[in-house]
Structure 1
Amino acid sequence: MFRTLDDLDPDQRVLVRLDLNSPVEDGVVQDNRRFERHAETVRDLADAGHRVALMAHQGRPGDDDFVSLEQHADVLADHAGVDVDFVDSTFGSPALEAIRGLESGDVLLLENTRMTDDELPEKEPEAHADSEFVRTLAPEFDAYVNDAYSAAHRAHASLVGFPLVLPAYAGRVMVAEYEANSAIATREFDGNVTMVVGGTKATDVISVMNAIGDKVDTFCLGGIAGELFLRAAGHPVGEDVGDMDLFDDQWEKNHETIESLLDERGDGIELAVDLAYEDENDERGEIEVAAITEKDRPYLDVGSETVAQYEPIIHDSEAVFVKGALGLFEDERFATGTVGVLEAIADTDCFSVVGGGDTSRAIELYGLSEQDFSHVSIAGGAYIRALTGDPLVAVELLKTE
C-alpha cells in the first residue's frame, strides 16, 4: 500500500511533512498530542542517520494563531529526544543553506509553510509540483515523507506537490491513522458495529451517517446532531435560544436527510432520553426529553439515563467508532455523557477508534488511558473523509498499488 520509513535507503536527505498545528494562547504554542505522535517519525529518521528537514503549518494568514514555528521546534525536540534546529525561512536562501549543512542524524524545522504564497491555494498536484516552492526545495532531497494525515484532505503544495517529483513514503502517523480510520469502510466485523455521534458540526456527522449507514448497526447520538434528530422526532429541542447560533442553520441544511435517516434506519438510531442543563444554582440539572414542552435554555450534555442506555449497546459491540463529544466536556459538570461512553468503550473488548482532536482530549483530561482504545486519532476533517470513504488527496499520492 505505502512505502514506509523502513523502506528508505541509508543516509537519505529526507523532506518530511508533519501537522504540528496547535492552539496558541497569549502567543504561546500549546503542547498537544500531535507533537507526541510525530516525534516517533522524527526520532526514527534521526536514529537511522538520515538528514532530516521538517515542514509544517500553523494557523492561517490573518488569524491570531498564525505564528512562526520557532516554538514548535523546542516542543517537538522535547518529545522526540533529539535536537531540532529551526530556520525562519521555508525555501529561501537561509533555508537552503541550513539544509545543505545537515549532517547524519540532524533535524531541521523550516518556517511555517503557510507563510509562502505557493502553499495555500487548492490546486491540482501537477500545478503544485511546478510551483517555485516545490521546484526550489525538491532538488535538495532524496525522498519525501508525508506524516500529516490530519491535513491529507487538503491539496496544498507541501502535501501534494512533492510526491510527484520525489520518491514518496508514509510516516508512522500516516500509516497508523490510515489503517485505523479507514477500518469502518475496509474491514469486515463479525459482530455489531456502533458509532457514537456528537460534536457541534452536525452537518459533518450527518453526512457520515448517511454515507456509512449500511456498515453501522447502531448510532448513539448526542451533541448538536443529537438534538437535531430529537427535533425531527417531534421534540421541542434542537433550536437556537438567546444568542445561540448552532442549530437553526444546520437544521435547514440537513433536516431532509435527518428525517430520511430516521424513517429508514430508526431502529438503529438511539436518541437521548434525558438532557442536562445549568440550573439556577449553576449546578448540573437533568430533564427527561419527554417532559420538555419548549426549549427555554441550552442543553449542554446528554443525561445520566441516556448514558445508561448507551452502555449496554457499546458493551455488546465488536467495533465502536466515536466522532464528536456528547456534551460540553471541558466543563466537568457536563462531561457525564462523553466520559461515560468513553469509559464504556475502554471497558469493552472491541476494536475502537476515537476521532477528532476535541473528543480525544477528554481521554487525557479525565484520566483515561489511550491504551484502552485501539486508536485515538489526531485528525478532524481527514477522519470525516475517511469514515465516508472519500479519498484523501495526499494519501492517494503515497499509494504504490
Structure 2
Amino acid sequence: MFRLEQFDYSNKTVFLRADLNSPMKEGKIISDARFRAVLPTIKYLLEHGAKVVIGTHQGKPYSEDYATTEEHARVLSELLDMHVEYIEDIFGKYAREKIKSMKPGEVAILENLRFSAEEVKNKPIEECEKTFFVKKLSQVIDLVVNDAFAAAHRSQPSLVGFARVKPMIMGFLMEREIDSLTRAYYSKERPRIYVLGGAKVDDSLRVAENVLKKGKADMILTGGLVANIFVLAKGFDLGRKNVEFLERKGILKYVDWAEKILDEFYPYVRTPVDFAIDYKGERLEVDLLSDERRLFDEYQILDIGSRTVQKYREVLMNAKVIVANGPMGVFEREEFAVGTVGVFKAIAESPAFSVVGGGHSIASIHKYGIEGISHISTGGGAMLTFFAGEKLPVLEAFKISYDKFSSQFS
C-alpha cells in the first residue's frame, strides 16, 4: 500500500478523504477530536507544496446533525491557523473551477459529500468508479489520500472509487490505525483479552465468534447491552423491564446467537456478576444471584456493578493484548460511569498493548481524562469489522491502487 512519504506533492492537487463527521449541537461542532486526528496529514501535504481539497460526510440524510461543511471549514481554519475555503459544491462546475484556481499551500473543503445521492449507497469499486462524483472530480485532482479510517468499512465513491483512476495513498492516521489493529489482531502474546460493550450487539457477536474460533482471544469480557444479551443466553432472568427494553431496541433476537457462541466457548466469555440501577434517584448495585434482582422487573440496568469492575480489572492487569469497544453502561450520567471508567482505567494501567475504539468509548476516555491506552481508534464500526475478520473495502481499495500504479511510482 502507498504511504505518504513515497510521493512528491509539489504543485499537486490532492483530494484528501477525511472523516470529520462530528457531533453537532445547534449547528456547532462540539468535538474536534476527528479534526485533530487528521492534522498531521494535512500539515505534511501543505509543507510539501500540495493544494489540499478535503472531502468529508456529516450525518445522515434527515438526521439532526446532517449539515453543510461550512462549520467544518471554520474549525479547520482555527486549528490550522489559516483560511480554509468552504466550497458550496461537490463535483459541479463551480467546485471544479474553484479547485483549478487553488495555489500550493492552500486548503479547501467540499460540501458534505452525502449531499450527493451517489455517496449514500455502498457499491462495488467497479460501480463507484463509474459515478459522476469520480468522473468529474478526477479531472481536477492528481492524487488521492485517504485518512478516513472511521469509514473504512464502507464502499462508496469518495472512499474507494478512485482506486484505479488515481494513486490512492494512506494518510498518517490510516497508517497508524491499520498498524495498531494489525498488531493487536495477529499478536501471539497471551493472554489476549477482548472487552465488548456498548449497543452494537450484532457487530460485537461477530467479533466474539471470529476471535474465539480463530484463537485470537483468550477471554472476552462483556458490558453494556452486549453483556445483557450474553447474561440472558446463560439462562439468567434480567427482569421484565430490561427484556422489554432489549425487545424495543430490536436486539433480543440475538440471544440465540449468543447461546451458540456460549455452547462452544462458555468458559471464555465472562459476564457481569452485578449491575447498577437508578433506584429512587440513586445508584443501587444489585447482585445477579441475590433476591434483590426482582428489582430488574421495574428498573432498567444502567451499568455493571463494582464487583464486576474488580473482577474485570484483575483479568486486564494480567493481559498482554487488550482490544476494547463500547462503554460498560450509561457513562453520560456520572453515577453510572463507574463501570466504564473503572474498566478503561484498568486498561490504561495494564502493561498490555491496548486498542480501544468506538465513538462512545472515545467520548468517555476524554471526559474522564483517562491516559495510558496504547492506541485509541477513531473508528467503531470499522474497527469491529476488522476484528470480525471481514474485509474492509477501503483496505482492499488501497491494495488495488497499489497494484495498478506501483510500477509508475516505485
TM range (shorter): over 0.9
Alpha-carbon distance between aligned partners in 2 of 1:10 and 1:241, rounded to the nearest angstrom:
56
Q: Does 1:336 align with 2:335?
A: no
Secondary structure, counterpart of 1:397 in structure 2: helix
Residue in 1 that maps onto 2:270? 270
- How many Å apart are 1:80 and its aligned residue? 3.3
Change (3 A) 1:54 1:28: same
Q: Is there any run of 5+ residues in structure 2 with no aligned partner, and where?
A: 404-410
Alpha-carbon distance between aligned partners in 2 of 1:145 and 1:229, rounded to the nearest angstrom:
41
Contact 1:224 1:247 in 2 (8 A): no
Residue in 1 that maps onto 2:391? 391
- How many Å apart are 1:245 and its aligned residue? 4.7
Q: Does 1:5 align with 2:7?
A: no
- How many Å apart are 1:10 and its aligned residue? 3.5
- How many Å apart are 1:220 and its aligned residue? 1.0
Change (3 A) 1:247 1:205: farther
What are the equivalent positions in structure 2 for 1:106-125 lying under 5 Å apart? 106-125=106-125
- How many Å apart are 1:47 and its aligned residue? 1.5
- How many Å apart are 1:193 and its aligned residue? 0.4
Change (3 A) 1:78 1:122: same
Contact 1:240 1:247 in 2 (8 A): no
What are the equivalent positions in structure 2 for 1:235-384 lying under 5 Å apart? 235-237=236-238, 240-241=241-242, 244-245=245-246, 249-252=250-253, 254-280=254-280, 282-291=281-290, 292-293=293-294, 295-296=296-297, 297-369=299-371, 372-384=372-384
Residue in 2 that maps onto 1:199? 198
Aligned residues: 395
Contact 1:40 1:80 in 2 (8 A): no
Alpha-carbon distance between aligned partners in 2 of 1:346 and 1:256, rounded to the nearest angstrom:
34
What are the equivalent positions in structure 2 for 1:217-228 lying under 5 Å apart? 217-228=218-229
Deviations 1:35-91 (A, max 9, x none): 110122111111111111111111122222211001001112323344311110111
TM-score where L is the length of structure 2:
0.92
- How many Å apart are 1:242 and its aligned residue? 9.1
Secondary structure, counterpart of 2:193 in structure 1: strand
Contact 2:222 2:272 in 1 (8 A): yes
Alpha-carbon distance between aligned partners in 1 of 2:43 and 2:247, rounded to the nearest angstrom:
42
- How many Å apart are 1:287 and its aligned residue? 0.9
2:196 partner amino acid? V
- State which drifts further: 312-321 or 293-302: 293-302
Contact 1:228 1:237 in 2 (8 A): no
- How many Å apart are 1:228 and its aligned residue? 1.6
2:49 partner amino acid? G
Alpha-carbon distance between aligned partners in 2 of 1:200 and 1:240, rounded to the nearest angstrom:
17
Alpha-carbon distance between aligned partners in 1 of 2:295 and 2:14, rounded to the nearest angstrom:
60
- How many Å apart are 1:24 and its aligned residue? 1.8
Alpha-carbon distance between aligned partners in 1 of 2:95 and 2:195, rounded to the nearest angstrom:
45
Residue in 2 that maps onto 1:170? 170
TM-score where L is the length of structure 1:
0.94
Alpha-carbon distance between aligned partners in 1 of 2:93 and 2:238, rounded to the nearest angstrom:
58
Contact 1:230 1:238 in 2 (8 A): no
Deviations 1:175-194 (A, max 9, x none): 11122223343x22322000
